[in-house]
Amino acid sequence: MAKEVSGLQEEDFMKIRNNLITKKEKALKRFVDSINGRLLTHLNSCVHCGLCAETCHYYIATGEERYIPAYKIDQLISIYKRYHTIIGKLIPKWTGARDFNDEAIKEMVDVIFGACTMCGRCSLHCSIGVDIPFIVRTARSMLVELELVPKGLQSTIDAAVETGNNMRISHNELVETLKWLEEDLKMEVNDENACIPLDKKDKHILYTLNPREPKFFPMSISAMAMIFYAADESWTISTKFYDVTNYAYYSGDDDTAGELMERLCNEMGKLNAEILVTAECGHGSRSIRWEGPNWIGRRYPFNVITAVELIAKYIRDGRIKLDPSKNKEVVTLHDPCNLVRSGGVIEEQRYILKNACSNFVEMYPNRENNYCCGGGGGQLSMGEFRDRRIEAGKIKADQIKKTGATIVATPCHNCIDQLIELNKEYNLGVKIKTISEIVADSLIL
Amino acid sequence: MTLYKWIFIFGFISFLFSTLYYILKIALKASFNDLSTPKGSLVLGILYSATGAMSPVKKESAYLHLPTYTAGIVYHLGSFLALFWLIIHFFDIQLPSIFSRASSIFLIISAATGFAILIKRITTSKLRLFSNPDDYFSNIIVTGFHLLSSAAILNSSVTPILFIYSGFMLFYIPLGKLRHIIFFVCSRLYLGIFYGKRGVWPPRGRFHEDKE
């Protein structure tokens, strides 16, 4: 007769146990495979000075010491020391080396997924220059092997893999929404020929969408369509693969991230467009522009630019004319971390807003020193950490309050979602808009 | 050659080999095959990473923590000065007495800053959270190095102890957190490459407004 262990038949218990051991081995293997010169350097550089504490919005807002960046990366560094350093192997406690056990994994999930947006502000200000988000993402990739990616984040990725977009929008629903927006555009510009071209070949631009736009924020598509109309641009939207987001970037799952990127590349090839323009989405733009070629292992045969860079170019080239007096309210700008600090799109949005608004004010700190809104790193999809996310967002809420602005512009839909929640939670009384919406409001047609 | 110098040489050679091992390991595992199209300059990024980005006015870790930052700078200068004096002692070079006395005083000050940093680590709960015995020991061993070095400048009878101590310290450096002296340069290099390529470093300022 089979013995019972922890309420399970011994055979089942052994299966689960062996499965877990296999997963841990796979996670450790994933870690070893990812140790390149860059990772090796950063794993050996932290001196535990703790001066990174005040750079992190999680720590400043909550005072929780476990949210200090040095502590977060120590979750992986301690495992590295245990298996890859002499002292860590011989006298683990001396250097804080730890076994990759259940306790370590539990803490890793909590602080690596639940208390970090991988915004990179800590890295920029680190006394040594440790690439903290890089270490955090490596730790996340190990948790992918353990199948411990928080449910909401994983289901967002699964939706993108299964349906082509992270919100499971059906083809019909998308086409109907875009057709409705096209009718709206015709009325708005008073031109029967105005259109939102779908799946057209040989256009100059293939424009991507954040699925949240057709689902919840169709006006940001309208705004961009109006800008394309005003610039007399040759453009199209794919109704098959249009999703600019790539949540596998957040989870650390390079294989899936590459698969999603590959689809977009194939679509570019199929439609024979010249430039891929990423919608206003920070991590999506970063994924496509900077990480994508490395995920798929080859350079793109096309150019990639962000919508913000494109709009700035239209203004500079005189292809669109703006009247700033049409936007009289005080407008401030939130810099999305992935677009600005990790993407180098820093001045373009400022140039646009100064041309599109009569009263633009900066929030401080800004540009590459900005604070994360709290919505990055996949936090918006991880419901289990919602309260923490809102609490950490207080830093951004305070920044916004200090500006006295009534409109917060930001070129990122993740940030928009978080700012909408912060607006409600901290009674900011502001409107949240994309850059293209503000530009569309000031267009001279 | 005396036994204590041989002990020092043993420590120094083991440090040298460990350093070479780490550098080779980084170099062999280095992959600069980033396939994305650059927006900025790698070279300028690296230069900025090693200069402007290290400026105390640019780093919160410096300007929000000026006493700690200053102590850290003095402490590290002390370490370099003590290493310099180790070479002087090894080759029996004579230096002007004013320089010797000034060095000795500076090394006492730098040891005091090391001690202050140690006290901060012991008394600050957030630092204790992720500190391990190696963090405390590394501080103590380097602070001791400053003190011994200071004493050896003024009193040559301390020199043998300094050589034995230094040999042990050099042997220990690659084993604990002190190995950051090997990795620090590479960290700045990689960070410079990352931000330089993406056009974040060096900060471009308001180039569009300038152009308009």
Q: Identify whether residues A413 and A273 lie together within a single domain.
A: no
Question: Chain B partners of A74 at a C-beta cutoff of 8 Å?
Answer: 130
Instruction: Indicate yes or no: CB of B187 within 8 angstroms of CB of A128.
Output: yes
State yes or no: pLDDT of B206 exceeds 50: no
Torsion of CA A260, A261, A265, A268, to 10 degrees: 70
The CATH number of the domain covering residues in B38-203: 1.20.950
Closest chain B residue by Cα to residue A68: B126
On whether both A232 and A267 belong to a single domain, the answer is yes
Number of domains into which chain A is organized = 3
Q: Which of A438-442, B31-35, B76-80, B145-149 has the lowest mean pLDDT?
A: B31-35
Phi and psi, residue A276, nearest 5°:
-95, 120
- Determine the Cα–Cα distance for residues A305 and A129; give it in Å rounded to an integer: 28
Put simply, the answer to whether A37 touches B207 (Cβ < 8 Å) is no
Q: Does residue A116 form part of some domain?
A: yes
- Do A336 and A309 reside in the same domain of the chain? no
A71 vs B contacts (CB less than 8 Å): 129-130
In a domain, A111, yes or no: yes
Binding-face residues of A in 315-334 toward B, CB within 8 A: 316
Picking from A115, A148, A181, the residue at the C-terminal end of a domain is: A148
Cβ-contact A263, A193 below 8 angstroms: no
Would residue A67 count as lying in a domain?
yes
Domain span including residue A142: 12-148
Size of interface A-B (CB pairs under 8 A): 175
Let me know whether A359 and A255 are in one domain. no
> Confidence band (pLDDT; 50, 70, 90) for B94?
very high
Residues A356, A217 share a domain: no
- Report pLDDT for B211: 34
The whole-angstrom distance between B64's CA and the closest CA on chain A is 8
Query: If contacts are CB pairs under 8 Å, which of residues 53-112 in chain A contact chain B?
Result: 53-55, 65-66, 68, 70-71, 74, 85-87, 93-96
Domain boundary among A117, A148, A179: A148
pLDDT in tens, B104-145: 999 999 999 999 999 999 999 999 999 999 999 999 999 999
The answer to whether the beta carbons of residues A100 and A110 sit under 8 Å apart is: no
- Structural domain boundaries in chain B: 38-203
Whether A410 is in a domain gets the answer: yes
Using CA atoms, how far apart are residues A117 and A105, in angstroms rounded to an integer? Answer: 19
Q: Is the pTM of this model over 0.80?
A: yes
Q: What is the CATH number of the domain that holds A191?
A: 3.40.50
pLDDT at A128: 96
Q: Are residues A279 and A172 in the same domain?
A: yes
Label residue B30 by pLDDT band (50, 70, 90): confident
Evaluate if residue B10 carries a pLDDT over 60: yes
Residues A170, A297 within the same domain:
yes
For residues A134 and A176, membership in a common domain is answered with no
Tokens of A256: 């899936």
Put simply, the answer to whether A129 touches B62 (Cβ < 8 Å) is no
Residue that finishes a domain, picked among A316, A336, A371: A316
pLDDT value for B171: 97
What pLDDT is attached to residue B116? 98
First to last CA, chain A: 83
Among the partner-chain residues A42, A340, A351, the one whose CB lies closest to the CB of B187 is: A42
Q: A interface mutation test: which of B60, B68, B172, B180 has the most A CBs within 10 A?
A: B60
Residue pair A257/A248 in contact (Cβ under 8 Å)? The answer is yes
CATH number at residue A140: 1.10.1060
Q: What is the predicted pLDDT for the residue at B210? A: 33
> Is A30 domain-assigned?
yes
Q: Is A2 part of any domain?
A: no
A78 belongs to a structural domain? yes
- The answer to whether residue B209 scores a pLDDT higher than 50 is no
Please answer yes or no on whether A46 and B124 come within 8 Å at the CB atom: no
Q: Which of residues 110-139 of A touch B (CB under 8 A)?
A: 123-131
Q: For residue A153, tell me if it sits in a domain.
A: no
**In contact, A254 and A215? CB cutoff 8 Å:** no
pLDDT digits (tens, 9 = 90+) for B172-203: 999 999 999 999 999 999 999 999 999 999 99
The predicted pLDDT at position A15 comes to 73
Residue A22: predicted pLDDT: 87
What contacts A400, CB < 8 A, 6 or more positions away? A332, A334, A363, A408, A419, A422, A428, A430
Mean per-residue pLDDT pooled into runs of 10, chain A (445 residues): 60 73 91 95 97 97 98 98 96 97 95 98 96 98 96 97 97 97 96 97 98 96 98 98 98 98 97 98 98 97 98 98 97 98 97 97 95 97 96 98 98 97 98 98 95
Pairwise CB contact (< 8 Å): B180 & A52: no
Query: In this predicted structure, what is the pLDDT of residue B161?
Result: 97
- To the nearest whole number, what is the mean pLDDT of chain B? 93
- The helix/strand/coil state of A188 is helix
Q: Give the C-alpha distances (Å, rounded to integers) separating B184 from A45, A139, B59, B188.
A: 6, 22, 16, 6
